[in-house]
Each structure stands twice: as C-alpha cells, then as structure tokens.
A and B are shown apart, each in its own frame.
Chain A
Amino acid sequence: MELGPIFRAMLKAKAGYILIALQIAVTMTIMVNAIAIMQEKNDAIARESGMDEANTFAFSSTSFEPDADMRSLVEEDLDTIRNLPGVRSAVASNSYPLRQGGWSEGLQLEPDANSSDSIGSAIYFVDEHGVDSFGATIIDGQNFTPNQVSFKDPESNTWPAYGIVTEALAKELFPEEQTSVVGKTIYLGDNDPINIVAVIDRLQAPWQSWTGVERSMLIPQRRLGTYQTYIVRTEPGYRDELMPQVEELLANSNKGRIIRSMTTMDHVRMRAYLDESAMVTMLTFIVTLLVIITGLGIVGLASFNVSRRTRQIGIRRALGANKFAIMRYFMVENFIVSSVGIATGGILAVLLNILMVNAFGLQPLSWYVIPIAMLVLWLVGQIAVAGPARRASNITPAIATRSG
C-alpha cells in the first residue's frame, strides 16, 4: 500500500478533499440523527394498543329520536352482533385506543387528597364483555360479573364501586406493591371509592402521544347517551365480511339512528400515526437524497482528480503500476477522505444527539446506529469512486511519452 504518498499528495490540493470530507461529515451527522428520530417514531408506531387490532372493528350509532329507550336499544344491538357467526365478542363503550378522543379521570389513593397528587387515567365504560372485546388479558383478579354492571343516564355522575386497571396504571398507583393490588381501593373524581377487581396486561388510552398512554381503567357501567361506540372483535378472518353485515343489520333494525364511522382498528392506527409515518417517510427521503448527493460529490471529485492526473497516471503505468494499482490509488484516497469525514461526522452526530436528547427529549442513540452509518458511507464512497477509478486504470501508459 502507499498510504503515505497518497496522503501527502492530498495535502498538496487540500480544498476539494476538505469539502468532500465536510459533506460526508454533515451527511453522517444528519443521517445518524434522522435514524434516531425514525427509530423513536417507529417504536411509537409499533407500540401495541393491547387490542386484537387485526380482528377488531368499531363504529358509532347515533339516535336522533329524543326519547328512545337507549338501554334496550344497546342491549338489542349487542345481542344482534354477538349472535352473528364469526363474532367473538362485542361491547358498547365510550372510546377505544388510538381514537384520540376519550374520557379521563384523576385517581388518588386517599379521599380528599390534594388533586395534584392524582394520577390521570383513561376511562372506558364497559360491561363484562369489555375485557375480551378490548383484547385484554386478566393477569390478576376476576372479570366484572354481570350484576356489577350498572346503567346510568348521561347526566348522572354516580360511579360504580368496581374497576379493572391496566398493569401500568397499577404500578403507577402502587409503586411499592409487591404482591397484588386486587382488592385495594382508589378514589376517583369527587372521592368516589373504586375497588380494583382485576388487573389487565395492557390497554392503551385513546391518546397515543400522551405520556400516560398505558394507563387505563375499565368501569362496569353503561352510559345511556344517544351516541354509542361499539367495538366488535371477530374470529380471525371474519372482520371484513362482518363489517358490512353488521352495518346493514343495525341500520335495518332501527330506523331512528344512524351508523357511522365504521372502521377497522388497522385504519384507526394508520390515522393515529399519520404524522409519525409522514415524518419517517420524509426523513428517509432526505437521508437517501443526502447520501446520493454525497455519492455524486465523490464521483465529481474523483472524476476531476482522474482528469487532472491523466498524465501522472500514464507515468505511473509506465513505471510499473498495473491497472489494479491505479484503481487502488483512488479507492485508498477515497477511503482516507471518507474516514476523515466519517470520524468528524461521528463526533458531530453524537453531539447533536446529546443536544436533541436534552432539548427535545429524544431517546438516546442506539449504539449500533453509528457503526452502521459508517459502513454505509464507506460503502457509498467506494462505490462512487469505482467508476472514475476504473476509467483511470484504463489510461494508456503511452501518455507518458506522447503529448509532452
């Protein structure tokens, strides 16, 4: 190898190399941090809601008859749905994960406690089918019994005495508890006591960007407003055929209401994470573009250097360099520039990441992002320089004696 003379020759014409090294450094910096952001977004997108999303759909029913008997209407609807072949379970509730709109309450361990001590939680009103319809698994305690379910008109504000909490909410409420939180009492709103009857593994709140997204509580109550949200969980593979079927059945069973917002959970997730997906797409585009531009910059500099050195390449060939040695010269030269750029970029990338972690609460860089980015840029450099290097290797040694 001829690292020494190659490096010394580069120092004689620094400007071009420094610019390219800088470009590589900037690309590295942006690439690494874009990947960190994309990873965070992708992690968010990949978080499970707790529901059996692939086999669940939801819709709303709005009654416009002022004195409709909502209690029997909802019972009839649920009977109809639950008796359809392919339906695993169904529930009427107020919202569901990723929906962005829902009900929240502050929870406390003591009645009359200072409300600033309260822990926020999403509230889902359900019956004894709620746990299964929401795809949750009870990890401690027992599900609601049918006689625990109460019925309330929307104006009433009495709370049932039972609740099922997610494990995340239980941990937040009782961080010290080692054994079981089942049977413990917590207080909600105006000091209504709630007895925890069960803990479920996971059920997200409707607001996916809320820091407390994993804190939810199921309440055994049906609120008899004119607006109802239904959540239907099907056996695998039945979702798509059941959706129009349910819509038609319900629409025909009662002409005094409209069925709306019929949607799969897949679609709900897609809509909920639209911003994150758009961000990932945009960053992918930017990083790809930057890498391509850097690659073209390397091609440009290498082509310029090959033209500038046409004569010297001929001389080197005359002095005994074979084609491979000429190619290697330009590859090594690129490796040096790339390494300087990548090393600088690596340092800048870490600094920028620290800044972003501190300023925007971004999650810290995964250790493997930097070596992967290094490898990618080294590879891009070598691929970019291969064309011009190949051209250089085809320069005839006769140049040395011709065109004096």
Chain B
Amino acid sequence: MLKMKSVSKTYRTDMVETHALREFSLTVGEGEFVSVTGPSGSGKTTFLNIAGMLEELTSGTYELDGKDISSLNDRERSKVRNEKIGFIFQSFNLIPELDVFDNVDVPLRYRGFNAGERRRRIEKCLDMVGLMSRIKHYPGQLSGGQQQRVAIARALAGEPRFLLADEPTGNLDTNMAESVLDLLSEINTSGTTIIMVTHELTLADRAKRNIFVRDGQVSDGPPELHFAAAANA
C-alpha cells in the first residue's frame, strides 16, 4: 500500500521556485492499476519519482507498505527500490553496453541473488515478454517495442510489489502501445500494483482507476474520464 499525505515538492533554482507538487495526497491499495493523467508540467513525473524514491519530498509524509520512508538512508532507500519497486520509463532506459541478458540481470545483481537464481528469473521474465530469442542482442539491435518489453522484463525480474511506469508507451506506435498495455494488465492481474503515467486517455482507460493531476495536485479530473472509468467498471 502506498500512502502520500500533503506531499509537496519544490524545485529551487537561482531565479525561480517551482512548486511541482503541492499538498499532494493519494492512497493506492494493494493490486490496484492506477493511471495518472494531466497536462504537461503538472507534476506527474515528480509524483512518480517521489513514489519510487528517486527523489526526496520537500514536506508531507509518504508511507510505503506501512512504513514511513522519510527517515531511510541511501542504502535503505536503494534496497527498497531494488526489492519492492519496478520502473518502466518512456525512453526504455536499457544500458546500451549490455546485452538483453545482462540488462535484465542489473537489478538482480544488486539484490545479491546467486547466478543460478538470476538466470532462472531472467529467462522466466524474457519468456513472459516473448523475447527469449533476443537474449544475446544489444538494445541497439532491437525495435522500440522490443526494448520496452526488455525493460518490463527487467522491472519484473525482482518480483516487485509496485510497478511504476512513466509514459511507457510514449515512444511507441499504437500497435506496440496496445501490446505493452496488454502485458501490464496481465501483470496487474497476477497481483502487482501498477501506477502508470500517461497522457493518452484511451490507454488511461485500461486502468482500473484514473487520477488526474493539475498544478501539482490531485484534481477531480475531466468529466469524460470519469465517464469512461464508470463505464468500464
């Protein structure tokens, strides 16, 4: 369970203060599939970064799995990221110098699994995303859709409780986007909590719950989305 209460995030540069999140409150329960939409610059990525502990919050409280994470040090934060959270990024973010196998291996090595366990997990996840045949390929040799599937395999290999995705289909064409969404739905069905940022309403529609962010705050959202969500339920 993920619980944010009155979270604010302020970016300070020499000249300006940007309030990326203000009094942001949200609770996401176990097994939910939440889509986050909102205009560009509204704070969606900031929210996701704080949720995924990539950034620290300025004020407010954030509990993950019932634990206040504000007091954790770097080592502990890294461990939580490694064990409980999987990330999927818009630009795939595979490591270009490593082949598919080694890319999926990255978080597993930080986890400290032995070689056999790592191999078993890597093969299982690559099989699930349908890319076992590309195990020795480098990211540069794969299409965008394939890269994103490898990234999903990498995010899932550690069997995280939460999957955070920032515009996972932003760089993909419609067909590929659909198949990635199919994959995410399947993952959610098997119990993983998913929070997905997107600006495409048709994709947001596939989530079980939609939230709308405006000016760094959770807002009620545009009526058509509520309508779609209601119709879906």
Contact = CB atoms under 8 A, between A and B. Distances in A.
Interface of A: 2, 4-5, 8-9, 12-13, 311-312, 315-325, 396-398, 400-402, 404
A320 B82 contact: yes
B89 A320 contact: no
Contacts of B7: none
Interface stretch (B31-39, B59-67, B107-115, B204-212): B107-115
Contacts of A321: 78, 82, 110
Contact of A322 (B74, B83, B99, B107): B74
Interface of B: 45, 48-49, 52, 54-55, 74-75, 77-79, 81-83, 87, 89-91, 93, 95-99, 102, 105-107, 109-111, 154, 158, 166
A320 B81 contact: yes
| CB-CB nearest 3 A-B residue pairs | A320-B82, A322-B78, A9-B97
B137 to A, nearest CB: 13
A315 B98 CA distance: 13
Contact of B45 (A8, A315, A397, A401): A401
A311 B158 CA distance: 21
A2 B45 CA distance: 31
A344 to B, nearest CB: 24
A7 to B, nearest CB: 11
B81 A318 contact: yes
Given A320-B82, A401-B89, A325 B98 contact: no
A401 B48 contact: yes
Contact of B54 (A9, A323, A324, A396): A396
A157 to B, nearest CB: 85
B87 A319 contact: yes
Given A9-B97, A401-B54, A317 B78 contact: yes
A312 B97 CA distance: 10
Contacts of B154: 319
A398 B49 contact: yes
A9 B95 CA distance: 10
A208 to B, nearest CB: 59
B1 to A, nearest CB: 21
Contacts, number: 90
27 contacts: A4-B102, A5-B98, A5-B106, A5-B109, A8-B99, A8-B102, A12-B97, A316-B106, A317-B54, A318-B54, A318-B93, A319-B81, A319-B82, A319-B106, A319-B110, A319-B154, A320-B78, A320-B83, A320-B111, A323-B74, A324-B75, A325-B110, A396-B54, A397-B81, A401-B45, A401-B48, A401-B166
Contacts of A317: 54, 78, 81
B90 A396 contact: no
A327 to B, nearest CB: 12
B87 A312 contact: no
A324 B78 CA distance: 10
B38 to A, nearest CB: 15
Contacts of B78: 317, 320-323, 325
Given A8-B102, A404-B91, A320 B79 contact: yes
A373 B157 CA distance: 44
Nearest to B50: A398
Contacts of B55: 396-398
B145 to A, nearest CB: 17
Given A320-B83, A322-B74, A9 B98 contact: yes
B54 A400 contact: yes
A401 B167 CA distance: 10
A319 B155 CA distance: 8
A337 to B, nearest CB: 15
A323 B78 CA distance: 9
Contacts of A404: 89-91
Given A5-B105, A5-B106, A316-B110, 5 more contacts: A5-B102, A318-B81, A319-B110, A323-B74, A401-B87
B89 A400 contact: yes
A5 B74 CA distance: 24
Given A401-B48, A402-B45, A318 B87 contact: yes
A309 to B, nearest CB: 8
Nearest to B111: A320
Nearest to A321: B110
A325 B74 CA distance: 11
A402 B46 CA distance: 9
A101 B74 CA distance: 74
Contact of A400 (B83, B87, B107): B87
